[in-house]
Structure 1
């Protein structure tokens, strides 16, 4: 399903103004000079969401974390993920090279889950469900379009409501964005959908971006940290960035893109409590199955090679504890320690 509206300048401005209190996460898909794909994202939040990295093996018995009536499944693929308050999976890559990123969307409306008659899943488990079950975007779109569950969105530990939209990308460059608007699932599926931010919903973001395509980005681009402006700037920068053939340079280019759109640590805006600083950034090299992580609290980058994690059925879940903001560099798979998996955000 794809919805598209053309907006005039006045409508674009109104949408941008209405977005002043949106979260500030950004996601993009970068094509390298060798036909590979790298996904980058920023996690922007009002406070440190106490993110840890986790490795989850294939063969894990799962449930949706929504109490009675929750959907259950067994993971087909192992994954490395970034948690959110250790009650939700918000980012990660599986061993098939599928990348999943969840970003805040204030307009999310999942409908009345209990009245739906469907199995239930916490929004905190939505991203993990995709990573556990699918190898490609097309496979995920086919399965999720049948709506095998209804999403429950509880309140986060920090008091904010858990509302978000999900993006998926695979090593072929395919991309899809899943949103619930007015209680209905809307799926935007195309390799063309290489950028996602927050509010407004994606069809309106596309319309705003279409207007700005008529403006030469070398002369002028919208400059605020608001979601609509970041969508435009990232779209322009992504198209302008050379497709690098050497992997280190391609990864460096992806980091330069996500840093260029990030929000300074500690930034606060009186009267706009949801304008948020960038807490961390991740880069996923889908072909190499390598997950890079950069904390805004640390001066260094580290990465995890999925092939070096024990993701075999029967292996124990493991955690890389980032609670003390350690300064890590290089390949970090050996630093994961066996740990009981966190429960998904309950009702």
Structure 2
């Protein structure tokens, strides 16, 4: 599960946001908000590398596996679950002269190395993802690699979706609608939008059914009739796409709240999506966040907190790796 949306303010500044929909609260498992400085060697599950750019993001259990983040150059992105993704063995990848990266470490690799979407497109063919265990989760992470696809947006508004669906090698899609969810793959979702071309942000007018019968709309919002309201990934994609592309542009001061208002439409309450009959385990939105790509700030709302927490790259200490725990 998960939904991504990015929006632009009336001053053309970018805001990247997402919900993280899981069956657990990642902060109960030691996940942290982290600032990683530039020229810092990340001791990853993959081959360690030195960061070119500093970045701020949310990791899994204090590890080098990240859900999302933004770097000092304004590039923001994250991973969303995709069961259609594939992997390959490290030795097979390296035989081709490619770099093998754990699927959860694509986020820090890109944020610490690149400034623009064009740079990502030029370099993503040099890597492929492996299906390694999630070491940060110990026994829980054995045999359960992160199944994900990825989306990034730069400060110029260019956006890309990366899907490792070819033995860990990536297919690349331009994200022209500013939204991503989960399965099926991104191209399927784009095709499916054709089923909703009647949706618009203007109220429908009276319909003269015949010379005597006039049908009038019952209420405002009639232009959105047919917009799906359930929590499946195709429905969330359609709903978020239309809301994102119909809303007015707002000021930079209002933009984080505007982004949260869109994400609220796909916020999944705990308990409404139980995995099977008689189960107490359900998918729910454990957090949603908004990154100000211009200022390098993170606005975070966790499901069991009423307040919005703020973090900033301005709090970076030179050459220091900084962790913030969320209680």
Q: Does 1:154 align with 2:133?
A: yes
Q: Report deviation, 1:267.
A: 3.6
Q: Does 1:239 align with 2:239?
A: no
| Kept after mapping to 2: 8 A contact 1:120/1:152 | no
Q: Distance in 2 between matches of 1:257 and 1:151?
A: 34
Unaligned runs of 5+ in 2: 201-222
**CA distance 1:155–1:77, shift in 2 (3 Å):** closer
| Kept after mapping to 2: 8 A contact 1:106/1:163 | yes
Q: Distance in 1 between matches of 2:322 and 2:275?
A: 40
Q: Does 1:210 align with 2:194?
A: yes
Q: Distance in 2 between matches of 1:138 and 1:193?
A: 18
Unaligned runs of 5+ in 1: 1-22, 325-347
Q: Does 1:181 align with 2:165?
A: yes
What is the SS of the residue equivalent to 2:295?
A: coil
**CA distance 1:270–1:80, shift in 2 (3 Å):** closer
The answer for the alignment partner of 1:142 in structure 2 is: 122
Find runs of 4+ consecutive structure 1 residues off by over 6 angstroms.
none
The answer for the alignment partner of 1:74 in structure 2 is: 50
The answer for the alignment partner of 2:107 in structure 1 is: 127
The answer for the alignment partner of 2:206 in structure 1 is: none
The answer for the alignment partner of 2:220 in structure 1 is: none
- If the length of structure 1 is used for normalisation, what is the TM-score? 0.78
Q: Does 1:171 align with 2:150?
A: no
Greater mean alpha carbon deviation, residues 131-140 or residues 111-120:
111-120
Q: Does 1:103 align with 2:108?
A: no
| Kept after mapping to 2: 8 A contact 1:175/1:193 | no
- If the length of structure 2 is used for normalisation, what is the TM-score? 0.83
**CA distance 1:108–1:243, shift in 2 (3 Å):** same
**Match of residue 306, structure 1, among 304, 313, 317:** 313
Q: Distance in 2 between matches of 1:268 and 1:57?
A: 39
The answer for the alignment partner of 2:255 in structure 1 is: 250
Structure of higher CA gyration radius: 2
Q: Give the length in aligned residue pairs.
A: 290
The answer for the alignment partner of 1:26 in structure 2 is: 3
The answer for the alignment partner of 1:220 in structure 2 is: 226
What is the SS of the residue equivalent to 1:33?
A: coil
Q: Distance in 1 between matches of 2:19 and 2:102?
A: 23
| Kept after mapping to 1: 8 A contact 2:103/2:145 | no
| Kept after mapping to 2: 8 A contact 1:263/1:277 | yes
The answer for the alignment partner of 2:68 in structure 1 is: 91
